[in-house]
Every structure is written in C-alpha cells, then in structure tokens.
Amino acid sequence: MSSYSGILTAMLTLPRVTIPIDSLADLVAQSDLPWRLEQGSMIHKFLLESGDPVRQKAVRGTSGTFPDCWSARQAIASGEFAAICDETTMKKAMSWDFSTSGKCHLYIGREKVFTSSMFAMAFRTNSSLLPKANTIIYKVKEAGLLAKWLRSEITNTSQCLRPPSSDRRDGITALNLDALLGPLFVLSGGPPSSHQNACTASPPPHHKYHVATPTRVPQTPYQPDYHHRYAHTPTKNSNYH
C-alpha cells in the first residue's frame, strides 16, 4: 500500500512555471525588457485612442520602432526587445526559429490586444471587381482552403505553442485526472487479488497584433526554454494579443 501512496503523491506534484510577461499590462509594468512597435502600423493610433492607460503606456513607453515583425524576428528571439505583432507573422517566425535552431526562443502572450480580419484587398471606388473578389474570398475562407494553405506554410510551431506547465519531461511528471483513475481505483478497492482483473488508465494524446517576447527575459525569475510544445487550433481570424 505504501508503494501506491508514493506513486500517487508523486503524480499530484504539479510543476509551477512563472511567465513574467503574458499580457500588455505585464509588458508595461516591467523595465528589464524594452519593447517596440511596428513602424507605420495603425497600432500606435489604436492604442493611444483606446482610453486605456495600459494601452497608452504601451505607446508612450516604447523604446522605438522596427520595420516589420518578420524582419525583426531575430532581434526579438535574441532578447533585444519585445514586440506587438500579428499572430500569423509570429507563428511563421516561430517556425523559422525552431527549424533553424531546434529550440523555441519566442513566446506569444495570451492576452488579445485587438482582433481584425485576416486580410483585405483594396480596390478603386465603385470597382466592378469588388463584389466578385468578395465572393471568391468568402468561399475560400469558408471552405477551409485559407487555413489549409497557412498550415502548409507555417510548420514546426506546435513544439513552441504548448503552455509551459504542460511540458513532458523525463521522470515524474504531473498527470491529468484520466491518468490518475488507475491508482485511485486501486486505492479505493485495495490491491487486486489473483482472480481480479487489474484496471489501468493511460493519459490521452495531446490533443491575434500579439505581445511577442523571447523565452528568457533578462533579470527575471527562472524561465524555461519552451521546447516540444503542441499547437493550439488555428483560427480563421487574425487575432492580436
């Protein structure tokens, strides 16, 4: 019985991971990592006119700008600054980072700063092409072709998108409730006798501008490299966090 109790206690041990920057408020409240905004984007005006002191501070406290999120991917990954970027670009940057280094140096904050449509096409006023283009774009999006094309272009991101506390490590790890059903069954009924069938339970398979930061922030508590994560389900809209 003591062996079952020891295993159960070990399974209930949950690793705690501290993420210092997981929202816009976290970003503007710290001084260890500077942040920048994309040059010429509407994010500056949007944040300043929001009326939210936190969002306004994100503009007034910036350390500068960068041309675009894709060209700044190396600087963000190396820890020079954090950035507010769109989800698609940052997933592409994660794909590039993991494909070239085999590690995850980028982290996307969970807070949604704002949401906009995936993309738009500009036409002249009263253009006869606009209704036809709208129909084609709608059909492509609703058929799932747009998401399929994006997935084919953005690979190797799943390893870097899984929440840090969900990491699987060698040795003893935290398991979910389904994985504990076997030990709980044994504890409630005692060790199975020779004529009983032992019952076991296995863990199930692992099944939008963003605040993008390096996985390690200078002068902050321990930050793990977020290796081997699994992707969240892609959305049809470009969400900004």
Length of the chain: 241
Alpha-carbon distance values, 151 to 64, 88, 157, 158 (Å): 32, 10, 10, 11
Fill in the DSSP letter of residue 135: H
Which sign does the torsion angle of CA 222, 226, 229, 232 carry? positive
Q: How far apart are CA 240 and CA 191, in angstroms?
A: 52
The Cα-based distances of 64 to 15, 59, 144, 152, 216 in angstroms read: 37, 9, 38, 34, 21
Q: What is the pLDDT of residue 153?
A: 81
> Residue 222 belongs to what domain range?
2-240
Encode pLDDT of 27-69 as tens digits: 999 999 999 999 988 889 999 998 999 999 999 999 999 999 9
At position 114, the amino acid (one-letter code) is F
Name residues of the chain where pLDDT drops below 50: 167-173, 191-207, 219-241
pLDDT value, residue 193: 45
Task: Return the closest-CA partner of residue 86 out of 98, 73, 105.
Answer: 73
Yes or no: say if 97 and 80 are a contact pair by the CB < 8 Å rule. no
Q: Which two tokens stand for residue 137?
A: 């774009």
Gap between the Cα atoms of 121 and 119, Å rounded: 7
- Number of structural domains in the chain: 1
pTM of this structure: 0.58
